[in-house]
Amino acid sequence: MRDESYVSALEGDPAASGRLFRILKASSFLRFVSRATFASETYPGPLTHMQIVCLTHVIDVVSPDLPIITSRHPARTAT
């Protein structure tokens, strides 16, 4: 988790998708993880960088798998 003031606008993938939940295939954070750990394309496999953008922080997640997101509350319908 990083303070949003320290997240560089240049670090992201120009092809990133999303606004508050971003999926990046290339980023400086992903390159850092590759250099700082033994994670590779071979093991555990191609990594994806996901960002959860909060009001004052950005949560970085790197994983070979995309998350499964479910709602804890049923969808509300307009009346």
pLDDT of residue 26: 83
User: Per residue in 40-51, is it b (16+ CB within 10 Å) or e — as a string?
Assistant: eeeeeeebbbbb
Q: What does the alpha-carbon distance between residue 15 and residue 56 come to, in Å, rounded to a whole number?
A: 24
With respect to residue 51, please indicate whether it lies within any of the assigned structural domains.
yes
Residue 70 lies in a domain: no
Q: 53 is in which domain, residue-wise?
A: 2-63
Asked whether residue 79 is domain-assigned, the answer is: no
In which residue ranges of the chain is pLDDT below 50? none
What pLDDT is attached to residue 25?
Answer: 80
Looking at the structure of the chain, the number of domains it has is 1
**The token pair that represents 64 in the structure block:** 């070979």
The reply to whether 23 falls in a domain is yes
Of 36, 71, 37, 67, which Cα lies nearest the Cα of 49?
67
In a domain, 28, yes or no: yes
74 belongs to a structural domain:
no
Question: Beta strand 21-24 with 2-3: parallel, antiparallel or unpaired?
Answer: unpaired
Number of helices (H), then strands (E), belonging to the chain: the values are 1, 4
Is the pTM value of this prediction over 0.85?
no
Q: Average pLDDT over the chain, rounded to whole?
A: 82
